[in-house]
A and B are shown apart, each in its own frame.
Chain A
Amino acid sequence: MIETINLTKKYGELVALNNLNLSINDGDCFGFIGPNGAGKTTTIRVLLGLLRPSGGGASIFGLDCWKRSPRIKRDVGYLPGDLRLYPWMTARNAIGIVGQVRKRGLAERGRELWDRFELDPEVRVRQMSRGMRQKLGLVLALVHEPKLLILDEPTAGLDPLMQDVLYRCLDEAIARGQTVFFSSHRLSEVEHLCDRVAIIRDGRIVADEPLETLRGRAAREVKLEFADAEAAGRAEVPAFLKIRERRGAQWVCDRTGEMPDLIRWMAGQPIADVTIGPPDLESLFRRFYEREGDAG
């Protein structure tokens, strides 16, 4: 569905994308994560044919993103990161114009979507709050049920209830076989939906793995409650546990990888209680940056 091969984009001396390789299959929900300025939006702009690559290539549906952009966009729904719409536009006339350009009757689906997003179809963009504009942008991206959805920071400005509506819409889209390219600087956002995540930093992909594999690599917080402070003091820290904090009878540790050796070790200790948290993807995400930063 989407393929970039050694994709490079330079702005003069600044290298925004550096030999970026991505391959996204039909029906994937792909999370594209990175901090501000990492190259997420540049990648998307190349995919949409707004920027010409300086090197390498990008294709969607097997078509070159620069040369065949209008054809590609027939089947793409796009929500820009910094969405700005015409001040005179209302949801109703926006759907009308998009329908005319796409040569499709979109009124019914548009109505269904603006109802779901609780959007008044008669309010002009100039009177809308940031969140309402974002909702209109989402309606316009989703309305023609495209084969590929490219969403750049789609939850920005949405309240938690509307975020849930968006996640439900995207779940339905994925169930219909649509492909989702979800760009965000927050891993917790893509965790809800995506089955694969790529992390970009300084224009390079530093990780591209299924979310399950990333979870396996992420540390879990383990809280061990010993019988008493004396027992906690006597216990030897095993190599596979990284102690973060000791507080009387309690240890707060990080554990990366499988659990059986931890369970075996705990069986021989005077432990009164244990809490094992979910994989902490956010800290793993941060580590990718720190590691790269150290190397640099």
Chain B
Amino acid sequence: MRGLIAKTLRETWLTTVFLACALCLVKFLLTFVLPQFQKEMGDLLAQLPMVQAMLSALMGIDVEEEFTARVLQSLVWVHPVVLAILWTHTIMFCTRVPAGEISGGTIDFLLSLPVSRRTVYCSESLMWVVSGLLLIVLGVAGHVAGAWVGSMENRPGPLVVLFVVVNQYGLYLAVGGVTCLFAAMSNRRGRAAAVVVGIVLGSFLLNFLSQFWQPAERLAFLGLLEYYRPAEIVRSGAFPLGDMIVLMLVAGAAWVAGGVIMIRRNICTL
């Protein structure tokens, strides 16, 4: 497995470091800047109900009712740029094997080595989980640095931040698990990635529509973003156990299904 890990590290470290630094910077800026615009944002939300609905979809609470300074802090964790960075990383990583190796034509070389497909899948997944953790940790570092440089007023406590981070990592793993499943079924990396991007955007759309459309509200439980609610955690201070169970179940089930498919499928290069 060491050789495979060395290979994966060689191929992914630059992207991971780049995205982790980007996440750190974005979180630093958001944490530092957002509190200074609370009043302006409140006015903006009052004028633009669409933005209000979008924020509610992202934050998992009714922004109109509960737009406090503390809740505003949670925007750092759901800002589209933050989510885009996390999803880019997890989708990029989880489509590498086997879809990426097949579309690159390198799967023949990889599987000519005396390693089982299970080992290949697990070593890739191990690197994904670890590098995802690095990404999240650097994101937290950016947040802490932003809070330290800026005003400490109305900041959530460390335990609440930890709960939000765990919830975020759960979402990261759930999106990655689903990506692993589609990558295992696909011969083309781009196709697998497009499907997952579609699912993630669909999930956001479902959350957005559920703010004002009854049928979408009934289906909202199907979207992954329904189980990522930093604002709720910041408001209540409670660990999102139910959400985490759902996210981990989705991540685990999809990852295992992806592994089974990877082990049993025919490998045809294009």
Contact = CB atoms under 8 A, between A and B. Distances in A.
A82 B269 contact: yes
Nearest to B108: A80
Name the prevailing secondary structure of the B interface residues: helix
A78 B110 CA distance: 11
Interface residues of B, number: 25
Residue of A51, A82, A86, A93 contacting most chain B CB atoms (<10 Å) = A86
Residue of B2, B10, B108, B111 contacting most chain A CB atoms (<10 Å) = B108
Residue of B107, B114, B119, B268 contacting most chain A CB atoms (<10 Å) = B114
Interface in A61-99: 69-71, 73-74, 76, 78, 80, 82-86, 88, 93, 96-99
A50 interface: yes
B266 interface: yes
B156 to A, nearest CB: 42
Contact of A101 (B4, B10, B107, B266): B4
Contacts of B3: 97-102
Contacts of B266: 50-52
A134 B67 CA distance: 63
A93 B28 CA distance: 38
A190 interface: no
Nearest to A86: B106
A140 B109 CA distance: 9
Contacts of B10: 88, 93
B105 interface: yes
B267 A45 contact: yes
B50 interface: no
A71 B109 contact: no
Contact of A98 (B2, B107, B113): B113
B241 interface: no
B223 interface: no
B115 A70 contact: yes
Given A51-B267, A52-B266, A101-B4, A84 B109 contact: yes
A73 B112 CA distance: 6
Contacts of A73: 111-115
Interface in B65-117: 104-109, 111-116
Interface in B2-28: 2-4, 6-7, 10-11
Nearest to B105: A84
Contacts, number: 79
A48 interface: yes
A74 B2 contact: no
Interface string B105-144: 1111101111110010000000000000000000000000
A78 B112 contact: yes
A69 B116 contact: yes
Contacts of B104: 84, 86
Interface string A130-148: 0000000100110000000
A260 B99 CA distance: 62
A101 B115 contact: yes
Given A45-B267, A97-B6, A101-B3, A50 B111 contact: yes
A78 B109 CA distance: 8
Nearest to A125: B106
Residue of B7, B112, B115, B267 contacting most chain A CB atoms (<10 Å) = B112
Contacts of B108: 50, 78, 80, 82-84
Interface string A226-249: 000000000000000000000000
A283 B106 CA distance: 36
B114 A48 contact: no
Given A51-B266, A88-B10, A97-B6, A76 B112 contact: yes
A86 B107 CA distance: 10
Contacts of A85: 106, 109
B11 to A, nearest CB: 7
Interface in B239-263: none
A45 B267 CA distance: 8
A43 to B, nearest CB: 14
Contacts of A137: 109
Given A78-B112, A85-B106, A86-B109, 20 more contacts: A50-B108, A50-B111, A51-B266, A69-B116, A70-B114, A70-B115, A71-B114, A73-B113, A73-B114, A74-B114, A78-B108, A80-B109, A80-B112, A80-B269, A88-B10, A93-B10, A98-B3, A98-B113, A101-B2, A141-B112
Interface of A: 45, 48-52, 69-71, 73-74, 76, 78, 80, 82-86, 88, 93, 96-102, 137, 140-141
16 contacts: A50-B266, A50-B267, A52-B266, A69-B111, A69-B116, A70-B115, A70-B119, A80-B112, A82-B105, A82-B269, A86-B104, A86-B109, A96-B6, A97-B6, A100-B2, A101-B2
**Closest 3 pairs (CB-CB, A-B):** A100-B3, A84-B105, A101-B3
